[in-house]
Structure 1
Amino acid sequence: MSKLEEKKAVIILSGGLDSTTCMGFAKEAGYALYPITFDYGQRHRIELTNARKVAEFYGVAQRYKEVKLGFLREFGGSALTDDAIDVPKVADEADVQESEIPVTYVPGRNLMFLSIATSYAEAVGAEAIYIGVNALDYSGYPDCRPEFIAKVQEVMTLATRVGVEGKPITIQTPLLDLTKADIVREGTRMGVPYELTTSCYNGEAEACGECDSCRLRLKGFAEAGRVDPISYKA
Structure 2
Amino acid sequence: MQAAARDARTAIVLFSGGQDSTACLAWALEHYARVETVGFDYGQRHRIELKCRSRVRAEMAASFPHWAERLGDDHLLNLALLGQISDTALTDQRAIELQANGLPNTFVPGRNLLFLTFSAALAYRRGASVLVGGMCETDYSGYPDCRDNTIKATQLALSLGLAMPMTIETPLMWLDKAQTWALAEALGGAVLTEIVINHTHTCYLGMRGKRHAWGHGCGSCPACRLRADGYTAWRRSVEP
Q: What TM-score results when the alignment is normalised by the length of structure 1?
A: 0.83
Q: Cα RMSD over matched residues?
A: 2.1
Structure 1 counterpart of 2:64: none
Residue 205 in structure 1 maps to residue 208 in structure 2: yes
Structure 2 counterpart of 1:127: 129
More helix, by proportion? 2
Asked whether the equivalents of residues 11 and 130 of structure 2 are also in contact (C-alpha less than 8 Å), the reply is yes
Residue 20 in structure 1 maps to residue 55 in structure 2: no
Asked whether the equivalents of residues 12 and 19 of structure 1 are also in contact (C-alpha less than 8 Å), the reply is yes
Query: Which of 218, 223, 229 is residue 228 of structure 2 equivalent to?
Result: 218
Structure 2 counterpart of 1:179: 176
In structure 2, how many angstroms separate the alpha carbons of the residues matched to 1:115 and 1:222?
35
In structure 2, how many angstroms separate the alpha carbons of the residues matched to 1:30 and 1:157?
19
* Residues 78-117 of structure 1 mapped to structure 2, 5 A cutoff: 78-83=88-93, 85-88=94-97, 100-117=102-119
Unpaired runs of at least 5, structure 2: 62-67, 210-216
Q: What TM-score results when the alignment is normalised by the length of structure 2?
A: 0.81
In structure 2, how many angstroms separate the alpha carbons of the residues matched to 1:42 and 1:224?
29
Q: Which is bigger in relative contact order (C-alpha 8 A, separation at least 6)?
A: 1
Over 4 Å off, 4+ runs = none
Query: Which of 135, 138, 142 is residue 136 of structure 1 equivalent to?
Result: 138
* Residues 27-176 of structure 1 mapped to structure 2, 5 A cutoff: 27-59=29-61, 63-83=73-93, 85-88=94-97, 100-161=102-163, 163=164, 168-176=165-173
Asked whether the equivalents of residues 96 and 104 of structure 2 are also in contact (C-alpha less than 8 Å), the reply is no
The structural deviation recorded for 1:6 is 4.8
- Report the number of matched residues: 209
Asked whether the equivalents of residues 20 and 197 of structure 1 are also in contact (C-alpha less than 8 Å), the reply is yes
Which 10-residue stretch deviates more, 192-201 or 209-218? 192-201
Encode CA deviations 1:127-161: one digit per residue, 9 max, x unaligned: 21000011111111111001110110110111013
Unpaired runs of at least 5, structure 1: 89-95, 227-234
In structure 2, how many angstroms separate the alpha carbons of the residues matched to 1:31 and 1:186?
20
